Amino acid sequence: MNDYKSITEVIFDMEKVAQALNVPSFPIYFLGGSACILGKYSDRATRDFDFVDLHYSSLYGKVLRYLNDFDMLEYESTILAPSYKERAYKLEQFKYLQIFALSREDILVSKIIRMEPKDIEDMDILIQKCDKTVILSIIKEVLNRQDLFDTKREAFLRNLPAFTEKYHV
Average pLDDT of span 136-155: 97
What pLDDT, on a 0 to 100 scale, did the predictor assign at position 44?
73
Per-residue pLDDT tens digits for 28-83: 999 988 899 999 998 776 768 999 999 999 999 989 988 888 989 999 999 999 99
Task: Indicate the helix (H) or strand (E) that contains 126.
Answer: helix 117-126
Going by their DSSP bridges, the two strands 70-74 and 89-90 should be labelled as unpaired
Say whether pTM exceeds 0.85. yes
CATH topology of domain 4-167: Beta Polymerase; domain 2 (3.30.460)
Per-residue pLDDT tens digits for 84-111: 999 999 999 999 999 999 999 999 999 9
123-130 long-range contacts, CB within 8 A, separation 24+: 123/163, 123/167, 125/36, 125/41, 125/42, 125/44, 126/36, 126/41, 126/42, 127/167, 129/41, 129/104, 130/104, 130/105
The CA distance from 162 to 164, in Å, is 6
Domain layout of the chain by residue ranges = 4-167
Nearest to 78 by CA among 38, 98, 51, 101: 51
What pLDDT, on a 0 to 100 scale, did the predictor assign at position 1?
52
The CA distance from 47 to 37, in Å, is 12
pLDDT class for 2, splitting at 50, 70, 90? low
**Which are the contacts of 117, defined by CB distance < 8 A and separation ≥ 6?**
none
Helix and strand counts by DSSP (H, E) for the chain: 8, 5
Q: Where are the beta strands (DSSP E) in 20-59?
A: 27-31, 49-53
Q: Which amino acid is at 52?
A: V
Q: Percentage of the chain with pLDDT > 90? A: 80
What pLDDT, on a 0 to 100 scale, did the predictor assign at position 56?
93
Q: Residue 96 CA to chain centroid, in angstroms?
A: 20
